[in-house]
Every structure is written in structure tokens, then in C-alpha cells.
Amino acid sequence: MEEGVCAVRPGTDVGRHARMLAQVHDAVLSGDTPPAHLRRLVARSWTRARAQGVDPEHGEPAGPLGPDEIERRRVGSPLQRVLPELRSSLTSVAEDARHVMVVTDADGVLLWREGSNRVRHRADALGFTEGVDWSEASVGTNAIGIALAEDAPVQVFAAEHFVRSHHVWTCTACPVHDPRTGELLGVVDVSGPAETIHPTTVALVGTAVKLAEASLWRQHESRLETLRGVAAPLLSGLRGGAGLVVDDHGWVAAVTGMPSIERVAVPRADLPLAVHGVGVCVPEPVPGGWLLRLADTRTLSLGLDLAARPPRAIVGGSTRWVHPLSTRHAELLVLLAHAGATGLDAAALSVALYGDREHLVTVRAEMSRLRRSLGGLLLARPYRIAPEVEVEMPDPGEVALLRESSAPGIRGLATLRR
């Protein structure tokens, strides 16, 4: 079967296709030769589900979370602000077509569910309800789980689901990203009885997500415009006449005395910020964002103490900052230091850390956390250490933490340096 987002083509005999997939499911799980091949993205998902110990005969999800935790996640989710757009695009269609629309967070936990009452009752029996985790690790192959793992839209039909009790369902999901940062916010999914599958559902859900992301961007622009009103008097009174005002995500609202910049790294009150093409700035919180003043020193240094437990990043500038690191974050910094100015993309880091390209979501999440910790010292697209930063790295062959690493890229560096 060809790779593709849609599970069926127009004109497909849905009943016959469902029976063939059931035969494939039985054959693969019993170790026999299947009559056909699964789509590659579904096969990858099955491999992940089996590796994570999901039982295809008893794959009920754990949970649900308690009402207080569900409400906490709802309040903290940016997707709450675009629910009206999603309801307008999908809820009435779901009700008419015997489907439910669900919205999850980035962990795969269902936060909102709306649509056909009859289908919602059927979904209850599967645990497809608010507060339940529908990631691959919890319930195996399904559209929500694949959309999270592959960071891509997907439709899953009948026995393409890993757990047998899900075979009577079809689901179509699309990830939603923060248009400011590219961060994965969650997934929008439309699910219903298997016989209701239609390839146009993929385009419908994808369009709804694009409209929601556009709404998030408009809200971002409105907040930036408000911040510009705060910025004007702050910048006019700066000593030295150079500075920026940015929002909490590093988007620049106003600048004076330096080149125009669209975005910087996320500021933190206790860490200097390397601004590409400008130098080192000191963040100061202001209503709605941050004022960045040029620091007395224009250079920063980054060193790694890998003998410490836990390992530490040491940032030097006008003063010295020490940041504890996880082992994985220390490995990432070593890889980026040795990549130099060319840097590494998420796929290259996945290969260096795990030996394959299947961990893109994990790599992006780890890099997001590391960049929040180290501010403007790290750049993206590709990931690299900012050119303004002087890097001081130990020899990988002399560090036990790196010699004992399971990451192929780290082992290779340690071997070369010995």
C-alpha cells in the first residue's frame, strides 16, 4: 500500500478494504506473511507501539485525569483561545456525519470533545473521553498518536489501529503549532465509525487547523501592538540610545539605536542574552514583555563542566552563570559545539543521539527546553551555538560521561579524540 496521509482513495470499497486490513493485522501479530503491506507511517507506529509494550488485545488507556488537572491543562493551553474557530469549522460537520471532534494537548491528553451524542456514547466505551491519554505509548496506533509522534497530519482506518477494539473506528488528526515558535501545541482530531471514512476529511481537518493557527498569529500581532505603546517611552529614555522591547517569546515590538530585528531568544531575568548581529544584552521585565539593554561586555563564553554531577554549563560575560544540565542536554551541547557554525538539524541530531531519524519530536522538545535555559546562546534552523559565543569544550575522549554514552554521535566523538 502506498504511503500517504489519507487511509483510502476515492471510490475505495470500504468494507473490502477493512477486511483486508483485518487480515494484515492478524498475520503481522501472529508472525505470518501478511496479504498486503501497511502504509509506512502506520508500520512505523506499530513498531513504536510494540516497543512500548502496548497490548493489541487489551489496549485500554489509563485514566482519566481528575477534573482539577483537566481544567489546569485547559486553562494553560493556547488552544483554548481558538476553540471558537475549531467549533465553527468542525463541530457541525461532526454532528452531521456521525463523528466527534476532539482537541488534545501536546501530551495527547483529550481536553475537549464535541459532536454527535450517539458517537460520544460509543466513544465512552473505548475511553475516548476528556482527560484520557491517547498517545501511542498509551493506546498504540491511532491518528492522534501518529500526529504527535510524526508531527504530521494522518488518517487511520479500521485495523490500521494497533488495538483490536479500535478497529470499528476511523480517525483523522492534524497537529497544531504555535505560529510564533513552531512549538507543537496539540492535535485536532475527527473520529467516528469506520464506515464513515472519507478522504476529504483530511482536507477539512487540515483547513480548520490552518484557520486556528492564523487566529493565534493575529492574537500575537495584537499583543505586540499593545507592547509598542509601552516600548516608546522606555526606549526614548535609554542611556546610550540603543535597546529593544520584546514580548515573552522574544518577538521584537520596537527597537532603537541598532539594526532592525524580528526576533530574539526567549529572555530570562537572570541570564544575559546574545542577540545576533548586536551583541550581549541584559533583559529587564516590563509590562507585557522585556526591555533589552546593551551589556557592558559584548562577548559571552560557554563552557561545559562534564565531570560535575550533574554536569553544568558555565556562561561567562560581565559575570558568571552556572546552569545544571541533564545528561541529554550535555550531549546536545557537545554535538552542537563540534558541529560549529554549520550546526545540525533535528534529523541529524536524532541520528547522532538515537541512531535513526524517528525521534524528531523528542529532539525538538529537548532543544526547546535547552534553548529556554540558555537564552540566546543557541540558535535554530539549524540548531547551532550563536557566533557571538566563545565555546570552551573538554576533549570528549577524556570525559567518562561521554565515553559511556549510548548516543552513536557522542561515542564517535569520544573514539576519535582518544
Taking only the tens place, the pLDDT of each residue in 243-299 is 899 998 889 999 988 878 888 878 887 677 777 667 778 889 999 999 998 877 667
In terms of phi and psi (left: phi > 0; alpha: psi -120 to 50; beta: otherwise), the region of 354 is alpha
Predicted local distance difference test score (pLDDT) of residue 2: 43
CATH label of the domain that carries residue 38: 3.30.450.40
Question: Which residues lie closer than 8 Å to 336 by C-beta, 6 or more apart?
Answer: 343, 344, 378, 383, 384, 385
CATH label of the domain that carries residue 383: 1.10.10
Q: Which run of H or E residues covers position 378? A: strand 378-379
Same domain, 311 and 252: no
Percent of the chain residues topping a pLDDT of 90: 53
Same domain, 155 and 88: yes
| 363: in domain | yes
Number of domains in the chain: 3
Which of 294, 324, 340 is at the close of a domain?
294
Q: Which run of H or E residues covers position 363? A: helix 360-374
| 229: in domain | no
Q: Where in the sequence is the domain holding 310, given as residue range(s)?
A: 300-417
Planar angle of CA 320, 323, 326, nearest 5 degrees: 155
CA distances from 298 to 56, 125, 274, 318 (A): 58, 61, 9, 9
Same domain, 404 and 276: no
- Smallest CA-to-CA distance from 49 within 146, 190, 129, 117 is with 146
Predicted local distance difference test score (pLDDT) of residue 261: 82
CA distances from 146 to 85, 149, 171, 274, 377 (A): 24, 5, 11, 37, 33
d(CA 141, CA 135): 8
Same domain, 129 and 201: yes
Residue 352 has pLDDT above 60, yes or no: yes
Residue 1 has pLDDT above 60, yes or no: no
Same domain, 247 and 391: no
pTM (2 decimals)?
0.74
pLDDT band at 375 (very low <50, low <70, confident <90, very high): low
Q: Taking residues 382-396, what's their average pLDDT?
A: 85
DSSP-derived secondary structure for 49-66? HHHTT--SSS-PPP-PPP
Average model confidence (pLDDT) for the chain?
Answer: 88
Taking only the tens place, the pLDDT of each residue in 156-187 is 999 999 999 999 999 999 999 999 878 899 99
Same domain, 270 and 337: no
| 20: in domain | yes
Of residues 387 and 192, which shows the higher confidence score?
A: 192
